[in-house]
Structures are given as C-alpha cells and as structure tokens.
C-alpha cells in the first residue's frame, strides 16, 4: 500500500483527506512544514498533498526543502482560486499537479492516481538511465596500457569544461564509449546525450536531423520535427563519423558552432541551443582536408581537444582484461555455467589481430558463450575459425610476384591496379551498390567514391554491372 502525506494546518482538511483516502492508501498527516520534512526523512512517502498557504514556514519553502531531501518525490499542492498564481509558481518549483479548494472527491482520486503513475514513471526512467549509464561509466572503460592511462587522464580533465572534443580511431575502438564517459563526468550529465551517425543518413535528410524542420518545409514534412541540436539543449551532441558530412552540411554546422544559433528547415525563427559537441572520425581529417573533402576551418573548430584511441592490436596488454570483463558480463546475462577460456583458447584470443577491435572482441565473447556456454570451459575449437587459424595475419599477396612486376610497373601503378581490382570485385558482389561495396571493403562510401574518381572509374548502374560481369 502506497503512503500519502497530507500537510495542512487545518485539522478538518487533514481529516477530510484521511477519510477519502484511507481505504486505498496509508495516510500520514502533518500540521506544519517542519513536521512534514521530518516525516519525509524517516518514512517512505510516495506522494505529498501540500497546502501552499500555511502559517510559519511557507508552503513553497516546504516544497523546495522536500525536493532537496527527495528529488524523486511527487507533490500535489492545494490552493484557493485567489492564490492560483502561487500554485503555478509551485509547479515551476517541482510540484507535479495542484488541486483548487473547494475540491471534488472524485477529482482528488483521479489527480492522485495520475500523479502516482507519473511518479512511477520517474522512478522507472531513473532506473533505466542508471542501468544504461553503467555500461558507459568512466570506471567501466577497461585498459591499463600507457596510452589508455593517458586517455583516462585527458577524459577526466576535459569533462569539466565545455570544450569541443574530437575522438579519432579505427572502427570498434570505443569512440562513443569515450564520448559518453566525458558526458557522464561533466556538469551536463543530467541533461541529454544525443548521438547521430553521419554515414547512416542521406545528405538531404541530415540537415533536417540536425536542425529540425517546419511542417510543409518539403515533401512528406507533414509535421514539425525537432532536430538533434534542440534535443541536446543543455547536454552533449555526439556526431559519429563527422568526416561523412558533405561540404554543404559542414558549412551549416560550422555556422551553428560559431553562434549556437540555427533555423529549422523551412522556418524563419532563430533558435538557440546550449550544446557541447563531441565528434568522432575513423579517418585522418587532415588527409580529408588535403583531398578537399573536409573544411579546414571546421576541423580547427572541433579539434580543440583531440583524443586518439589506439587499435586493440597496439594495446595487447589490455586484451586479457577485456576478455575477462566481457566474459563475466555475458556469463551473467546468458546464465552460462562456463568458468573460463581454456589455455589454448586464451592463447588464440591473445594472439589474434582483432581487425574489428573491441567491438569484434565483445561480439566474439557473446557469440561463444551463447553457443557453448553450457560447457565448463570455452575451448579453442569453440572459437571462430579465423581466430583459431590467425588468418587475419596472412599476406594479402605474393611479394615475389610484386617484385617481378616492379621491373615493368612502378609501385604506385601496381597499388592502383590492385585497388581497382578490389573495388571492381566489391561492386560486382554488391550489384554496384556503393554503400554495400564500401562496407565490404571496410571503408566509407565517401572514400570509395574518392578512390573511384582517382582511378577514373565510372559509376555503373547495378543492372548494367550485372550484365557486364555476368
């Protein structure tokens, strides 16, 4: 049974509430603010009904003190028509609802039921947020190699301010993990962390995603849309793989970062947003600047504090730590009885090159425990074949053959020819779909297009490709 505290200086009002609610709730009563605060400290109160006008300690003061003691408590204030402005002020100070005297019994029951449900939602959201944040807490970033220790130190320092941060590193090295750690260590931790993956959105939709749009701004804009900048107001905006932004959208982003003001697509009202920007990239932005695909002024704007994450193959001392961390995590989640990786399996895992970095390691542990978690130990034969054989380290081509070809071609010509052959093969296997081909080649569509232009390769429609290479 939920507990409700009624705070009113009039005995008749307290008793009225008691009679109305006693069959549904445990009802406590207080005649003044100090007594009410003492009850809040010592009792598990689910809801407070508070008279906003009381002698002695003002109702607004009581409300504010209650919120200091229990930030999650829900409060309904009771007021008269002539003090309705005070009730509105109470709502601004954290009250969930208000009741006007004289009140209707059925109205009271409805308001209390609704407010208690609202309180349950607050608790649920707080719980879910805490569970989500556990995975991104600073203490849960695993690493002891010197490079990671320096990164931990940088994260702790940079989190205190609002400086833009650029996190770079190969795919799967944990760039978003670092971004979330910065957010959770900052003064903005109770505000939104909003992430947007730049490669996953068409160029025409990205502006709308970032800045929002007004109803009727373009075809299919049937209602107003709030952009990610507005969603992140007061918090952190994470732009994943910012190198994939078109030059046009880079220009718009730069303008916003200079003033933190923007206009929704199809709108004319200037909107301001207090946002901290963290960006990530898996490629060298300096090389992108040299190619003319990334703006130099935007680079200097976002690269105030650079954090470069090492590839997992360059921090091998951390591999056993990461394996242990994810083994315990998924063992618990999957209710596995496996106790360890056996010696041979552990050796294979430690010697593997991990081209997919931490993301690949995490997926391998989860997959292995899913399939073989009913064994006492995870054996070498349970691991994926590429890890058992170490095939990721094999030579990509025969060096002796290349040396012979160097008598007729330059190294640059040989590399260009190999790139062309790989791109053509990838396009054949994906029916000419560049996004899929780029994914197959472990690169981005923008880099693939750049390579194709450099090699003088024309874009071939999928059905033509099928005809030409069938």
SS3 18: helix
Residue-averaged pLDDT of the chain: 83
Q: Of 116-125, 255-264, 361-370, where does the model show the most confidence? A: 361-370
Q: Taking 80 as the threshold, does the pLDDT of residue 334 lie above it?
A: yes
- Work out the pLDDT band at 125, boundaries 50, 70, 90: low
Assess whether the previous peptide bond of 102 is cis (omega < 30° from 0).
yes
Q: What is the pLDDT of residue 389?
A: 63
Among candidate residues 315, 312, 327, the one with its CA nearest the CA of residue 362: 327
Confirm if 323 and 362 have CB atoms less than 8 A apart: no
Query: What is the model's pTM?
Result: 0.58
- So where are the chain's domains? 3-131, 138-310, 323-393, 399-469
Confirm if 413 and 407 have CB atoms less than 8 A apart: no
* Residue range 323-393 in CATH 1.10.8.60: yes
Q: What is the pLDDT of residue 468?
A: 44
CATH topology of domain 138-310: Rossmann fold (3.40.50)
CATH architecture of 399-469: Orthogonal Bundle (1.10)
Residue 447 CA, distance from chain mean position: 26
Question: Are 3-131 and 138-310 the same fold in CATH?
Answer: yes
Q: What is the pLDDT of residues 371-382, one digit of tens each?
A: 999 999 999 999
Q: What is the pLDDT of residue 460?
A: 47
Q: What is the pLDDT of residue 461?
A: 43
Q: What is the pLDDT of residue 418?
A: 82
CATH topology of domain 3-131: Rossmann fold (3.40.50)
- Range list of H helices, 240-356: 247-259, 285-291, 296-302, 319-334, 343-351
For residue 447, give both structure tokens: 């880099």
């Amino acid at each position: 049974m939920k507990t409700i505290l009624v705070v009113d200086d009039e005995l008749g009002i307290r008793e009225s509430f008691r009679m109305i609610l006693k069959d549904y709730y445990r009802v406590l009563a207080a005649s003044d603010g100090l007594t009410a605060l003492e009850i809040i400290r010592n009792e598990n109160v689910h809801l407070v009904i508070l008279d906003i006008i009381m002698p002695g300690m003002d109702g607004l003061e009581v409300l504010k003190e209650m919120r200091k003691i229990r930030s999650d408590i829900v409060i309904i204030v009771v007021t008269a028509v002539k003090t309705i402005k005070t009730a509105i002020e109470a709502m601004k100070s954290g009250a969930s609802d208000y009741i006007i005297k004289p009140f209707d019994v059925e109205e009271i029951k409805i308001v209390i039921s609704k407010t208690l449900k609202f309180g349950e939602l607050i608790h649920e959201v707080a719980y879910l947020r805490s569970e989500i944040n556990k995975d991104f807490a600073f203490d849960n970033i695993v690493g002891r190699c010197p490079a990671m220790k320096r990164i931990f130190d940088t994260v702790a320092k940079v989190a205190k301010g609002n400086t833009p941060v650029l996190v770079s590193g190969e795919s799967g090295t944990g760039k978003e993990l670092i971004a979330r750690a910065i957010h959770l260590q900052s003064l903005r931790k109770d505000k939104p962390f909003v992430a947007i993956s730049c490669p996953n959105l068409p160029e025409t939709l990205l502006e709308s995603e970032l800045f929002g749009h007004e109803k009727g701004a373009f075809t299919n804009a049937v209602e107003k849309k709030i952009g990610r900048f507005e969603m992140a107001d007061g918090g952190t905006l994470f732009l994943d793989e910012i190198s994939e932004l078109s030059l046009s959208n880079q220009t718009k982003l730069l303008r916003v970062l200079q003033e933190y003001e923007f206009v929704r697509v199809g709108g004319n009202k200037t909107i301001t947003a207090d946002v901290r920007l963290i960006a990530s990239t898996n490629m060298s932005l300096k090389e992108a600047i040299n190619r003319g695909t990334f703006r130099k002024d935007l680079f200097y704007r976002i690269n105030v504090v650079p954090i470069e994450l090492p590839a997992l193959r360059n921090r091998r001392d951390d591999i056993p730590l990461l394996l242990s961390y994810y083994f315990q995590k998924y063992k618990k989640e999957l209710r596995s009885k496996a106790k360890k990786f056996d010696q041979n399996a552990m050796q294979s895992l430690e010697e593997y090159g991990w081209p997919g970095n931490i993301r690949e390691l995490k997926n391998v542990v989860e997959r292995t425990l899913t399939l073989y978690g009913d064994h006492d130990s995870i054996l070498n034969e349970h691991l994926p074949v590429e890890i058992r054989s170490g095939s990721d380290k094999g030579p990509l081509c025969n060096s002796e053959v290349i040396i012979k070809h160097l008598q007729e071609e330059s190294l640059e010509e040989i590399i260009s020819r190999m790139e062309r052959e790989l791109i053509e093969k990838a396009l054949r296997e994906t029916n000419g779909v560049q996004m899929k081909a780029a994914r197959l080649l472990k690169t981005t569509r923008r880099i693939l297009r750049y390579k194709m232009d450099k090699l003088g390769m024309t874009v071939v429609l999928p059905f033509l490709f099928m005809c030409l290479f069938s």
